[in-house]
Every structure is written in structure tokens, then in C-alpha cells.
Amino acid sequence: MNRRDFLARSAACSAAFLSSRLPARAQDDETRALEVNPITIPLPIRRKLTALQISDTHISLTDERDSQRQREMAHQRAERFGGRSAEKFLAALIYAREKGELFLPVGDLIDSCTAKNLDLLRACFADSDCFACVGNHEFYQWVGDGAKEDEAYKHLSFDRVRAAYPDDLSFCSREVAGINFVAFDDVFYYVADDLIDRFKAEAAKGLPIVALCHCPLYTPELFQETVARQGVAYIVGASDEEIAHYPQDMFEEQRTNETTRAFLEYLRGEKALRAILCGHLHRTWQGAFSETATMYISGAGFKRQANEIRFVPEA
Ligand SMILES: [Fe+2]
Ligand SMILES: [Fe+2]
């Protein structure tokens, strides 16, 4: 599909899902405004691959299918994130498309699971070369609903969110250009009981693994730096002692269970793991996760930030 056709098709999608039509010029403006953070990751592969990692656009679209509460909250949240989140997301998608890049969204694309938000995601995913993991906000009925964030809460929206996504939300993998991309769910600061076994099966394939998960995984540097900035780290795997100063509700929400602790311990020693791509913190960051793997956090999609990654053959 050429650029004109894609823009026309994107505009048609937009017309169906956005309250106002997005002219191609508006999309062009947004595309030019994309703030791209360039990253190079050498891997034992034969040909290079470029990809666009994006997260946290926090799109807040609603229509008559959504409840009054959802519509009110979405309106407030759209203002908080500066508006035009759907346009920013579409612009990133178009940017990746035009450059022939694999699109790697790592969650919080939408702010809550409204019908109109999910329609937009479904249309975009169906029309792009993409591999994705889910974020915590994809499962929110509305922000501030006060619900305990657990499997029962996730279950309320799981099937509808799954229907919008291209692959399984709990765990999935896909080989592209000799890289094994593996996505898993850690959105509520814990992982599934079977994740170690499933990850080991991926490692046995013998390819370098690039993992996608929404919430960053613990490293001492990231934890200390983020706590110094904002008091709470919002990452997976800190010890109870380290987070003892958190407000009680955040301590309970973010404390690490045994399954998750064991998974992280395994992951730190897994030599096949070369990179972890995540979001959630709304700021760009990168640093060592293990001897073999670096973690890359994409910034705020609602500020038009994205990581542009070149996977290149190792010298
Ligand atoms: Fe977010
Ligand atoms: Fe998040």
C-alpha cells in the first residue's frame, strides 16, 4: 500500500472512530512532531531490522455505547494528557508504516477500555505490521474507579481487549528477522505462574529474545532514580524493604509476590534475553537489566515520544 492509500485508509478509519475527520495534513503535522529517541541494539542476526516502540498515548475516545461515567472521566483525562491522543497514536503508526518499521506498542495506548477506544485499536492493529503487549490502562473500566487491580478486575474487560489485539495478551511470541519477540503481561506488578516455563520454551529456540512488557522490571539504578524523583517507582520486583516507605495502598499494589520474584531471578540469568522494551513511567530511560540484556523505556506517547530502534548484526 502506498502512502496516499494508507493516509486515505487511516483517514477513513479515523472518520469511523473519531468524532471529527482527521485530514491528511493534520496527520502529517503530527508525524513531523514525533520526538524520536534513536537506539541501536546489536544482536546475533543476519540482517538489520528497524522498529518503532511507543507507549502511553492514553487515548480517551467515547461514544453512546460507553457509560455516562466513562464519558465524563474520558473528557477529563483527555484534557490532562493534552488532547489529540488518537491523532498522536495514528501519526506514530503512519511514521512506522512509511519507514517500513515494525510497530512495537508496549501498552497504555488507551486510557480505559471504552468501546470507541477498542474500536480504534482493533482497526489500527489489523492494518499494521505490529507486535504488542498490553498495559494496565487497557483494562481500566475508567480511571479512578477504585477497583483492586487483580485478575478478577482484569477479567471484566479481558475478552473485549483481547478481541482488539493481534495476539494473546498474557503471553505471545513472534520471530522477525531472526529475533524472537516475546510479549508478556505484568501490568498489575505480577506475572503468571506459568511464565517461567513459557519463557524457557522460547529461550530453547536458540534465537536472541527481545521481551515486551508494560511495567519496567527492577534494576537498582531505575528504582533509586525513580524513587528520588517521585517517591514511588511503579516498577516490578522491588523488595518489601525498599518499598516500605510507599503509601499503604501503593505498597500493597506494587509489592512483589514469590512467582514474580522467581521469574525475575530466572530472567536475570537467561542469556538468550538481550533487550526488554517497556513503558508506563512516561519518560525515556535505558539501563542494564542483566549481563546480557538492556531495558529500554519509551517516553510518553501523549507527548509524541517514541523509541526508534535499529536491531543490527553484531560486529
Ligand atoms: Fe501510562
Ligand atoms: Fe501504565
Unique residue bearing C-alpha cell 496516499? 4
Return the bridge partners of 52, or none. 103, 308
H or E segment at 92? helix 85-98
Cα 135 to middle of ligand 2, angstroms: 6
Residues whose beta carbons lie less than 5 angstroms from ion ligand 1: 56, 108
Q: How far is CA 183 from CA 131, 172, 212, 251, in A?
A: 8, 5, 4, 26
Which pLDDT belongs to residue 154? 96
Distance CA 114, CA 59 (A): 10
Cα 215 to middle of ligand 2, angstroms: 7
Unique residue bearing C-alpha cell 513531523? 32
Cα 110 to middle of ligand 1, angstroms: 9
Cα 107 to middle of ligand 2, angstroms: 7
Cα 152 to middle of ligand 2, angstroms: 18
Cα 314 to middle of ligand 2, angstroms: 32
Cα 163 to middle of ligand 2, angstroms: 20
Phi, psi of 11 (to 5 degrees): -65, -40
Cα 302 to middle of ligand 1, angstroms: 9
Cα 118 to middle of ligand 2, angstroms: 17
Which pLDDT belongs to residue 28? 65
All structural domains of the chain with their residue ranges: 3-313
| Closest to 276 measured CA to CA, from 257, 298, 261 | 298
Distance CA 21, CA 10 (A): 10
| Residue 103 neighbours by CB under 8 Å, 6+ apart | 51, 52, 54, 92, 93, 96, 97, 128, 129, 130, 131, 132
User: What residue type is 120 in one-letter code?
Assistant: L
Which pLDDT belongs to residue 127? 81
Q: What is the CATH number of domain 3-313?
A: 3.30.750.180
Which pLDDT belongs to residue 27? 60
Per-residue pLDDT in tens (0 to 9) along the chain, 315 residues? 444 455 445 544 543 443 343 556 566 666 678 999 999 999 999 999 999 999 999 999 999 999 998 899 988 898 888 888 999 999 999 999 999 999 999 999 999 999 999 999 999 998 888 999 999 999 999 888 888 999 999 999 999 999 999 999 999 999 999 999 999 999 999 999 999 999 999 999 999 999 999 999 999 999 999 999 999 999 999 999 999 999 999 999 999 999 999 999 999 999 999 999 999 999 999 999 999 999 999 999 999 999 999 999 998
Cα 67 to middle of ligand 2, angstroms: 23
**Ligand located closest to 136 CA:** 2
**Ligand located closest to 56 CA:** 1
User: What secondary structure does DSSP assign to 278-311, as a single string?
Assistant: E-SSSS-EEEE-SSS-EEEE---GGGTEEEEEEE
Cα 47 to middle of ligand 1, angstroms: 33
